Amino acid sequence: MTWLQAFDLQRDGSFVTQLRESEIIMKKILIVEDEQDLRDLLGNYLIHEGYEVLKAADGVEAISLFTEHQVDLAVVDIMIPGIDGFGVCEFIKKRSDTPVVFLSALADEQTQLKGFDKMADDYVTKPFSMPIFLRKVSALLRRRDRSTTKAETAEFRAGDLLINKETMEVTVGERQVSLTVREFDLLVTLAKNPGRIYTREMLLDLLWDYDSLVDERIVDSHIKNLRHKLGGDYIETIRGRGYRIAKKDTE
């Protein structure tokens, strides 16, 4: 019996982590693993726990999925084709505070230390206990939620652009800008994650609940209106990708 097959014996309810719905609702986890059996197994367990799962078999696909989706946590194997796990982790950490868990057969101290040097939040060696792994995932997501709550600020700044979430006021220099609720929410979404590229699909999903009747061009229309009202180059267009507020503008 392989260690992968042994996991199937743990599907008894006593082994599966029982999480409160409030802990897992809307959480999206990216699995980056080139071994299909393990990738599917991890996905099945996480889905069983109530998470939404994205899967990538190599580093290039992982980065593409991370860019296109709002990922809450990434589980990354180190020895994957294309861009290795260290490169994927570095890409994620430069652009977000998304927790990264390395899942690897490389158990030597040097490799684990390198993983933490790349800002990984945890390092799990194969073979591993699925129940403990699930608990680690839950703990990391709770920690991130608490950190996000504490770090949440009422104001965002990009150059001389100031956004106040509590009063819904936007000022450019000394000039106050009047925005619709949708325009304001769109601006806040971009400003609170500077440097992060948001595709039209992501913005539709976040702000319009991705109504199938809503045309993607509505995002372009709102961006155009925002730029006109703000009167500056605060929002960048990344050709073929989407929109962002440059990280340098918020420093």
CATH of the domain at 60: 3.40.50.2300
- Comparing CA positions, the residue from 27, 217, 61 lying closest to residue 203 is 217
Final residue belonging to a domain, choices 93, 126, 151: 151
Distance CA 75, CA 78 (A): 10
Residues 200 and 192: beta-carbon distance below 8 Å = no
Structural domain span for residue 81: 3-151
Tell me, yes or no, whether 32 and 145 share the same domain.
yes
Residue position matching structure tokens 């590229």: 197
- Comparing CA positions, the residue from 35, 69, 33, 77 lying closest to residue 52 is 69
Tell me, yes or no, whether 142 and 171 share the same domain.
no
- Lay out the sheet containing 52-56: strands in order across: 52-56, 28-32, 73-76, 100-104, 122-125
Looking at 152-216, list the stretches that DSSP marks H as alpha helix, in order from N- to C-terminal side.
181-191, 200-207
So what's the pLDDT on residue 153? 62
CATH number assigned to the domain comprising residue 234: 1.10.10.10
What is the percent of the chain where pLDDT is above 90? 49
In tens, the pLDDT along 109-142 reads 999 999 998 889 999 999 999 999 999 998 888 8
So what's the pLDDT on residue 191? 87
What's the longest Cα–Cα distance across the chain?
70
Tell me, yes or no, whether 20 and 141 share the same domain.
yes
Confidence of residue 95 (pLDDT cuts 50, 70, 90): confident
Tell me, yes or no, whether 178 and 138 share the same domain.
no
Final residue belonging to a domain, choices 133, 151, 169: 151
Tell me, yes or no, whether 125 and 15 share the same domain.
yes
Sign of CA dihedral 51, 54, 58, 63: negative
Tell me, yes or no, whether 122 and 10 share the same domain.
yes
What is the model's pTM? 0.56
So what's the pLDDT on residue 122? 92
